Amino acid sequence: SMQSSYIELLLDLPWDNKSNDNFDLKNAIKVLDGDHYGLDKVKERIVEHLAVLKIKGDLKAPIICLYGPPGVGKTSLGRSIADALGRKYVRMSLGGLRDESEIRGHRKTYIGAMPGKLINNLKKVGTSNPVFVLDEIDKIGRSGHGDPSSALLEVLDPEQNDTFQDNFVEIEYDLSKVLFIATANDLSTIQPALRDRMEIISINGYTIEEKIQIAKKHLMPKLLKDHGIDKDKIKINQNILEKVITSYTNESGVRGLDKKLAKLIRNRAKQIAFEEEYDVIISKEDVFKSLGPGMDPRKYSEHIIPGVVTGLAWTRTGGDILFIESSKTVGKGKLTLTGNLGDVMKESAVIALEYLKANGSKFGIKQKEIDESNFHIHVPEGATPKDGPSAGVTMITALASSITGKKVKKYLAMTGEITLRGEVLPIGGVKEKILAAKRAGIKFILLPDANKKDVDDIKLNYLKGLSFKYVKRMEEVIKYSLV
């Protein structure tokens, strides 16, 4: 029975069976634009790949890794790419995979031996060049049964995967025609050798304007179809959509928004089923009745005392603003930190104070004044853990403000890391941070000079009403931010 199942597998595998690619690039752009709003970089990359395939006719498929927060459309992009190319689509979830043999298969000497999931999926799909989505590649586990992420090294190397060997099949199989697309939420958990084999394409969160368009063009039509409700029985205006987005969801993607809109539609379905009277257009009262009071989006509030600075943070759900407070009391130069801070932020605070001790004279701060005072830095919302290398400039500005008694410039937010020499280092998540600042009503943003290129990548209409100051050293930060 083992030999017969082995021979059946060999006969079922699509050794040379390929689907013909659709090289109509205009159609590909139309399909990608129809399925996903925004995501210009990803679409451009896919169209480039198609263009090379059209000219050369053959290309060792590169491994694309779509990296970004949950709910931004990474997995569904794989299906759109398959539709645009005219290829078959196959998806394999790697979340929690702990056994190497699930990738490479078991040796035939074991009872109940089976081929790996890769070979099995290719057998099911019936072509040797599908679009193959490796979902959640950052969540592969490890156990005593080997390391699956190491087994993926051969699969995801375009130079090696034309001779992929499954332990069960024992004959080399060519995977180089497969277009692999991996998805990940966190690159730090992917082992470096595996990360090196993939082309990382970052998918940032959506702006409020983009979310409104996604809700209108994609989420609402799909939800109405799923709930069996005609589109003339429920209408949501743009201002109500914006209210749902800002007050009921706090995320980069649109998964939470999808759930909230589904709740509104279910409420309408109940009204229809009970034959109640209702207004077709959803009102603020309907939203309150269905979704509850909601939350107030965090807004900038004017700092009326010295020592309070607005920082910009990047979280798993996107960008956010963060208030950092500092106070000075009579003491012996002791520094106290509160607000559930991680090690990196604690170190930033220590560096900030040491820098002011060494260079205070530049800002009119006397060494004696620091030695005879205690300092307390607090980041509100103590229940939320906070960490990351982007609060250094905010902490040093807060300390300088409380020591000198000067207030921080109004409507200013800042982000950046510092060194003991006083240099300002670049940080990540710039787009999300800028969008968070705009939502909160910030007008001026202070950024490290090395992050200027990240701002140049953002569409100009998202930057309307914002002005930027780029800095290289701490002297510039303090000079610009204190008034």
DSSP state of 436: H
Token couple for 207: 């702006």
C-alpha 329/C-alpha 334 separation (Å) is 10
Helices (H), 251-325: 255-273, 284-291
* Sequence-ordered strand ranges (E) for 84-222: 89-93, 131-135, 164-165, 172-173, 179-184, 199-202
Q: H helices then E strands: how many in the chain?
A: 19, 16
Amino acid at 145: H
Amino acid at 291: L
C-alpha 406/C-alpha 404 separation (Å) is 5
C-alpha 299/C-alpha 287 separation (Å) is 22
- Among 95, 103, 101, CA closest to 155: 103
C-alpha 177/C-alpha 88 separation (Å) is 12
Strands 308-315 and 412-414: parallel
By the 8 A CB rule, do 203 and 76 touch?
Answer: no
- 415 C-beta neighbours (distance < 10 Å), count: 32
Token couple for 91: 């998806």
DSSP 8-41: HHHHHS-SS--PPP---HHHHHHHHHHH-SS-HH
Q: Which residues share a beta bridge with 447?
A: 470
Amino acid at 264: L
- 84 C-beta neighbours (distance < 10 Å), count: 25
Q: C-alpha distances in angstroms, 24 versus 85, 178, 188? A: 9, 20, 37
CA angle 455, 414, 256 (to 5 degrees): 70
- Among 400, 377, 317, CA closest to 71: 317
C-alpha 305/C-alpha 462 separation (Å) is 31
Active site residue 390: yes
C-alpha 164/C-alpha 217 separation (Å) is 42
CA angle 477, 480, 483 (to 5 degrees): 125
Of 401, 433, 438, 481, which residue is the catalytic one?
A: 433
Of 247, 326, 390, 402, which residue is the catalytic one?
A: 390
Q: At what angle do helices 117-125 and 2-12 cross, to 10 degrees?
A: 60
CA angle 120, 101, 190 (to 5 degrees): 100
Q: Which residues are catalytic?
A: 390, 433
